[in-house]
């Protein structure tokens, strides 16, 4: 199957590496506004050549749209406009409401499958792509009733080759859940990093005193602003609700500490410990 990868970053790159390995991919054409990413993707054998949307999409079997989510929303109509009879388009973005809205009334809506593989690292760019990133992970499909059976089957084959299990979810539900379980974690880490950087002007203390605890809590603060800014922006309503709740819990926790409410504080920590059971 001839593939067009739009957005040659960590997610798209990892996906194509696995698809090449499983021989789902024959030729891969890469599109990116970042020329360094294109060059690097070519060097790493992620893509076979550079391309332009209008030149390669009509003959492609699969288009993987793996750009930041604002770019995906901008490009999706133009991509669908030039699909050939046999072309299927999938996106892999972390928000689903806006892309589903953007394609809702497109005449080729049925050729598009909205998906979100729940996998990644804090690294970005094609050099961060890794084999097996999606193995034994979950991927979500949204509004699949609006995709054709043919498009769905092709995308199911892709995730099957990657080793991911598929789950259907309403786009609005997706964005609401992800605001809590993923987007909030990223904001929590970004702001933890900023707080510590602002207060510990003497950097050596951060490095010296950071046990593995701080390192793991702040890890996501290393994530790409280009990727995460548009996610926060597109999902701002659900993120606002999540952040308001988080700030409310933090304020409560602070007051319990300051007011020496030791029993209640211990009870809340014990309740938080339940995360151990749930994540098992």
Footprint (CB under 8 A) of its own copies, residues 20-79: none
In the complex with its own copies, the residue whose CB is nearer, 150 or 195, is 195
Eight-class DSSP state of 65: E
Distance CA 269, CA 266 (A): 5
164 near its own copies, judged by CB under 8 A: no
In the complex with its own copies, the residue whose CB is nearer, 109 or 177, is 177
Of residues 76-105, which lie at the interface with its own copies (CB under 8 A)? Answer: none
Q: In the stretch 227-246, what mask flags binding to its own copies with x, by CB under 8 A?
A: -xx--xx--x--xx-xxxxx
Q: Among candidates 242, 249, 192, which has minimal Cα distance to 216?
A: 192
The least distance separating its own copies from the CB of residue 267, rounded to whole angstroms, comes to: 8
Q: In the stretch 209-228, what mask flags binding to its own copies with x, by CB under 8 A?
A: xxxxxxxxxxxxxxx-xx-x
User: Tokens for 139?
Assistant: 């991927």
| Count of other CB atoms within 10 angstroms of residue 63 | 29
Could you tell me which residues are beta bridge partners of residue 91? 65, 114
In the complex with its own copies, the residue whose CB is nearer, 112 or 190, is 190
14 near its own copies, judged by CB under 8 A: no
| Count of other CB atoms within 10 angstroms of residue 267 | 12
Distance CA 97, CA 114 (A): 10
**Terminal alpha carbon distance of the chain:** 38
The least distance separating its own copies from the CB of residue 8, rounded to whole angstroms, comes to: 21
Are 145 and 65 in contact, with CB atoms under 8 Å apart? Answer: no
The least distance separating its own copies from the CB of residue 130, rounded to whole angstroms, comes to: 12
Give the binding range for its own copies (CB under 8 A) out of 45-53, 95-103, 146-154, 198-206.
198-206
DSSP string, 224-273: -HHHHHHHHHHTHHHHHHHHHHHHHHHHHHHHHHHTT-HHHHHHHHHHHT
Phi, psi of 38 (to 5 degrees): -65, -50
201 near its own copies, judged by CB under 8 A: no
The least distance separating its own copies from the CB of residue 179, rounded to whole angstroms, comes to: 9
Of residues 108-127, which lie at the interface with its own copies (CB under 8 A)? Answer: 118-122
Helix (H) or strand (E) holding 149: helix 149-162
131 near its own copies, judged by CB under 8 A: no
The least distance separating its own copies from the CB of residue 206, rounded to whole angstroms, comes to: 5
| Count of other CB atoms within 10 angstroms of residue 133 | 22
In the complex with its own copies, the residue whose CB is nearer, 33 or 194, is 194
In the complex with its own copies, the residue whose CB is nearer, 49 or 254, is 254
Give the binding range for its own copies (CB under 8 A) out of 56-64, 103-111, 145-153, 264-272.
264-272
């Amino acid at each position: 199957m001839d593939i067009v990868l739009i957005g040659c970053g960590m997610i798209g790159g990892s996906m194509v590496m696995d698809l090449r390995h499983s021989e789902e991919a024959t030729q891969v054409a890469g599109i990116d506004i970042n020329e360094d990413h294109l060059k690097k993707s070519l060097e790493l054998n992620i893509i076979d050549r550079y391309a332009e949307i209008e030149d390669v999409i009509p003959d492609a079997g699969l288009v993987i749209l793996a750009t930041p989510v604002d770019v995906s929303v901008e490009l999706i109509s133009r991509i669908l406009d030039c699909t050939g009879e046999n072309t299927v388009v999938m996106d892999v973005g972390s928000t689903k409401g806006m892309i589903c809205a953007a394609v809702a009334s497109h005449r080729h809506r049925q050729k598009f499958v909205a998906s979100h593989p729940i996998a990644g690292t804090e690294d970005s760019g094609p050099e961060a792509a890794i084999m097996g990133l999606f193995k034994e992970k979950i991927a979500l499909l949204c509004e699949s009733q609006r995709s054709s059976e043919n498009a769905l089957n092709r995308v199911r084959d892709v995730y099957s080759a990657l080793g991911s299990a598929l789950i259907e979810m309403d786009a609005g539900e997706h964005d609401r859940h992800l605001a809590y379980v993923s987007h909030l974690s990223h904001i929590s880490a970004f702001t933890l990093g900023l707080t510590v950087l602002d207060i510990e002007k003497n950097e050596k203390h951060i490095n010296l005193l950071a046990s593995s605890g701080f390192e793991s809590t702040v890890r996501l603060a290393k994530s790409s602003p280009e990727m995460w800014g548009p996610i926060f922006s597109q999902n701002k309503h659900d993120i606002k609700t999540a952040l308001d709740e988080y700030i409310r819990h933090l304020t409560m926790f602070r007051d319990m500490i300051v007011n020496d409410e030791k029993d209640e504080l211990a009870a809340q920590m014990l309740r938080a410990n339940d995360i151990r059971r749930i994540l098992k």
